[in-house]
Structure 1
Amino acid sequence: MLDLRRLVLLRELSIRGTLAAVAQAMSYSPSAVSQQLSLLEKETGLELLRKSGRGVRLTPQAEVLVAAAGELLDTIERAEAEVAASLTEVRGRVRVAVFQSAALALMPAALRLTAQRYPQVRVEMVQREPETALHETWAREFDMVVAEQYPAHAAAWLPGLDRHELTTDAIRLALPPLDHPIAGGAGDGRPVEALIDARDLPWVMEPRGAASRHFAEQTCRAAGFEPDVRYETADLQAQIRLVETGNAVALMPDLVWTDRDTTCRLVELAGGPRRTVFTAQRLAGLASPAVRAFRSVLEEVAVAT
């Protein structure tokens, strides 16, 4: 009989690409991972890995086993969820990945309500960029992800993930207060009243590759100019401070202003673009009472925000 733990290691290699990455994710040494995969080859009597440059690649037979391992893990996850659902009390652990503005605006209230209503549910939260978190949830690193999607920049659809929309929020141009010199960005001292008026101002954006960065750059280009991105940071709180102190302007989704006072002046964008915030979890775990309870609480908090 094939060893499930070794099949899982093979699946992890198909997902992560290198023995070193598998070792780090599974808390093994690279040599231990290699040894276990060699034992799996002996069990099957098949060549599963072939050298490719400095790494390895999976054979077609290994891919068959990877698919089978995924099905087995789904079966185990469904069984665990159904056993938990048979209990009279909602309990268990929920591992959730969340991006920064949702962590600040939604998670505090959601965690508080969950603790009040479901004291036997333990929620563990890690901040991750949405693109990474979606993949890691699919790979079973997390039970659920809170992710975002910007207009014309769809988040990846991964097989076996169930998505529910939480909320949408408007995206607006954030400017320093009117009494700050940078606020007269139209070139003749007049206040900025539209995106094009900010064409000569310094900008702060997230690093390249982020969905928000792609959206911001494309929005500026559609308005007729290339933004002067002088500052890059994934920390939206740092972006807000740069705007408030007159060092930059930025495009900000409204969720960042939840429970927060600001001196920023907000200008509407043409077309009223909105960002979508959603949750995703594996279909195999939909019956989990703990995950279902926390997801329901998040939806309640999002409606009230």
Structure 2
Amino acid sequence: MFELRRLRLLHELALRGTLAAVAEALAYSPSTISQQLAQLEKDAGVPLLVADGRRVRLTEHGAALAEHAARALELEEGIRGELESLQPGIAPVRIAAMQTAVHAILPAALSALDPAVRIEVAERPPEEGLFELSARRFDLVIAEQYPGRTRAHEAGLERVLLGSDAIRLAVPASDPADGLAAVSGRAWVMEPKGTAAREWAVQQCRAAGFEPDVRFELADLTAHIGLIRSGVAVGVLPDLVWAGSRPPVRLVELPGEPARDVFAALRASSATRPGIRAVLGALQAAFPARRSDGTTVE
């Protein structure tokens, strides 16, 4: 008989690649992970892991059992969903949300929920949040997709569109720039390399005929606003960053009036959970309508 807890460790190893990464994610020691996987190997009666330098990798048997482990975890989650329908609030809803969603969507959404539903929120960039959703660290992830840059659809995950969020060039309030070409020689602030936001912004600059001089690489969009307002840099920002306040910078429309899709992602196996359905509904209702200047419609 396989113990579900050990199967989860094997599933995590298949996703994360190293024992150290599994240990860090689950707050276990690497030695504990190794001991539990060694016991799982005894239960299976076949080798599941093989040394590969200073690391380990899954054998053919290990990879096959990891796939079965994923299905077992989905079944367990479905059972928990049925139990929760009999007793709402039995399990917390763990949410990973990008920064703009934390400021502009979550406060209104959470205030509309039944207090009996326990909500746990962590701010995470979309790339990390979506990975951890597959790994079952979170139940819902609020992420974004930039125009022309689709995210991979992972097996077992579903998406629910929350709304469309306009993206505009942001310059100091007194700056007369009327488009990207007018700021080609300026210093830029952008999100870190590897993020969808950074890749999209760079592509817009290249389409306008220049390579942006990115002197400030910051994940915190409030820091972007401070640099732009002070005249140190220019950048492109989504409307949700203003969270209902009037922008202290000047916003300029970009070609084609682009907008990113903001969506919630969840595991299909958890879609029947009443708490998750309630949170999804609240998120959709809380997504703000916007005026052309980026402020919220009251």
TM-score, normalization: structure 1? 0.92
The 5-angstrom pairing of residues 15-54 of structure 1 reads 15-54=15-54
Partner of 1:188: none
CA distance in 2, matches of 1:65, 1:270: 50
Q: Could you tell which deviates more after superposition, 251-260 or 282-291?
A: 251-260
Secondary structure at the counterpart of residue 169 of structure 1: strand
Partner of 2:233: 248
Secondary structure at the counterpart of residue 121 of structure 1: coil
Q: 285, 289, 305: which one pairs with 2:274?
A: 289
CA distance in 1, matches of 2:5, 2:90: 26
Greater than 4 Å deviation, 4+ residue runs: none
Partner of 2:183: 198
CA distance in 2, matches of 1:110, 1:260: 18
Seq. identity, %: 48
Partner of 1:150: 146
CA distance in 2, matches of 1:197, 1:58: 54
Q: Which amino acid aligns with 2:103?
A: L
Measure how far apart 1:303 and its partner are: 5.1
Contact residue 95 and residue 121 of structure 2 kept, 8 A: yes
CA distance in 1, matches of 2:61, 2:280: 38
Measure how far apart 1:263 and its partner are: 2.4
Partner of 2:167: 171
CA distance in 2, matches of 1:212, 1:26: 29
CA distance in 1, matches of 2:248, 2:278: 37
CA distance in 2, matches of 1:108, 1:66: 38
CA distance in 2, matches of 1:156, 1:141: 19
Measure how far apart 1:156 and its partner are: 2.4
Q: Which amino acid aligns with 1:268?
A: E
Q: 232, 255, 262: which one pairs with 2:217?
A: 232
Measure how far apart 1:86 and its partner are: 2.8
Change (3 A) 1:90 1:3: closer
Secondary structure at the counterpart of residue 272 of structure 2: coil
If you compute each CA radius of gyration, which structure gives the higher value, 1 or 2? 1
TM-score, normalization: structure 2? 0.94
| Superposition CA RMSD, Å | 1.3
Contact residue 94 and residue 139 of structure 2 kept, 8 A: yes
Q: Which amino acid aligns with 2:134?
A: W
Partner of 2:262: 277
Partner of 2:121: 125
Q: Could you tell which deviates more after superposition, 56-65 or 34-43?
A: 34-43
User: How many residues end up aligned between the 2 structures?
Assistant: 290
Unaligned runs of 5+ in 1: 184-190
Unaligned runs of 5+ in 2: 290-295
Partner of 1:137: 133
